[in-house]
Amino acid sequence: MPTLDLTASSVAITRAICDIPSVSDDETPLADAIEAAVSGYSHLEVIRDGDTIVARTSLGRSRRVVIAGHIDTVPINDNLPTRDVEIDGEAFLWGRGTVDMKAGVAVQLKLAVELTEPPVDITWMWYDHEEVDSALNGLGRLARNHPDLFVGDFAILGEPSNGEVEGGCNGTLRALVRTTGVRAHSARSWIGENAIHKAAPVLARLAEYRAREIEVEGLVYREGLNAVRITGGVAGNVIPDACEVEVNYRFAPSRDAAAAERVVRDVFTGFDVEIVDVAVGARPGLDAALAREFVAAVGATPQPKYGWTDVARFSALGIPAVNYGPGDPHLAHHDQERVPLAQIESVERGLRSWLTGS
């Protein structure tokens, strides 16, 4: 079994956990290594659920913070093992998982074992299956199996945020917009009705749609409505009788699921629309006392999170949550995924400063 030295630097720990491949469905070796590394510390109670590892303090503090990060990655594409690279004079660690989100997890692991007397109780969560279907998500499973672990006054998710604080997140909705026609031989196309051609107004409405910018608790979230997939066709000589345009709507956290669905149905009035998936976003939660203290301690200017993240799971449980981790989110899942070494160290300093009051 691979081993982890959590007395090493956060950069060295990042390198070590990235070099333990953990593509979704294959997290067990890394989960085993994390469990072994954090066990045996008297200030931590360690709990395992599948390949999710929880380590928490029980010091009797009046407030509790949950700090979480996922340990799985998208598939590797010739970008492991990690290597050190320099770009325009800046040092980076290159490789799968460096951005999304093992650098953040490395910082958390180091602080979890070092901070034996934090001013707040802390529940650390390192979970599996974030990069796949939501039904498999380790954080969601943990909430179902151990709801008692989700008691907290504030939560931080180590999603890559360029070392800045990103509050809340947009919601996401997927819908199928369908058109129908009549099959016919393509040599006699006038006998049929082409369902793919009927999808042209759907694409036109998408092209004409102007994304809204909506302010929520001082942060401006940009929405988006886009076609992400088109399916249709029978054969090379058949007029198609069915077509589906899959649409993804990213909506501000001020909207609930019903409001988001109304927007999509209004845009596609007159078409057959099926909502196939929806996950509401998370409001920034920056008015919470611990959130204000955290932002002040790390010296950040909060920004909105445009993508959906697991902060929404905490928000749904009434726990205000933010995203805070090293790495450029534009490089998440990229074949050139890489994280600045200075950013890993900066995030460690920020969290350490807040959690120690120094």
> Residues 88, 92, 96, 97: is their CA dihedral positive or negative?
negative
- What is the strand order of the sheet 338-340 is part of? 83-87, 90-94, 338-340
Please list the pLDDT of the chain residue by residue as tens digits (358 residues). 789 999 999 999 999 999 999 999 999 999 999 999 999 899 999 999 999 999 999 999 999 999 999 999 999 999 999 999 999 999 999 999 999 999 999 999 999 999 999 999 999 999 999 999 888 999 999 999 999 999 999 999 999 999 999 999 999 999 999 999 999 999 999 999 999 999 999 999 999 999 999 999 999 999 999 999 999 999 999 999 999 999 999 999 999 999 999 999 999 999 999 999 999 999 998 988 999 999 999 988 999 999 899 999 999 999 999 999 999 999 999 999 999 999 999 999 999 999 997 6
Q: Which residues contact 356 (CB under 8 A, 6 or more apart)?
A: 115, 118, 119
* Length, in residues, of the chain: 358
Predicted model pTM: 0.90
Residue 148 appears among annotated catalytic residues: no
Q: Is residue 243 within 8 Å of 178, Cβ to Cβ?
A: yes
At 315, the amino acid letter reads S
Query: How many Å apart are CA 161 and CA 303, to the nearest integer?
Result: 9
Query: How many Å apart are CA 111 and CA 101, to the nearest integer?
Result: 16
Residue 130 appears among annotated catalytic residues: yes
pLDDT attached to residue 343: 97
**Residue 318 Ramachandran class (φ > 0 left, ψ -120 to 50 alpha, else beta):** left
Query: How many Å apart are CA 278 and CA 245, to the nearest integer?
Result: 17
Q: In the 8-state DSSP scheme, what is residue 353?
A: H
In the set 49, 128, 130, 261, the catalytic residue is 130
pLDDT attached to residue 358: 66
Q: In the 8-state DSSP scheme, what is residue 187?
A: G
pLDDT attached to residue 219: 95
In the set 72, 153, 223, 310, the catalytic residue is 72
With vertex at residue 229, the alpha carbon angle to CA 228 and CA 235, rounded to the nearest 5 degrees, is 165
Tokens (6 digits) for 59: 């010091």
Alpha helix (H) ranges present in the chain?
Answer: 10-18, 28-38, 103-114, 138-145, 195-198, 200-208, 257-267, 289-298, 311-316, 341-356
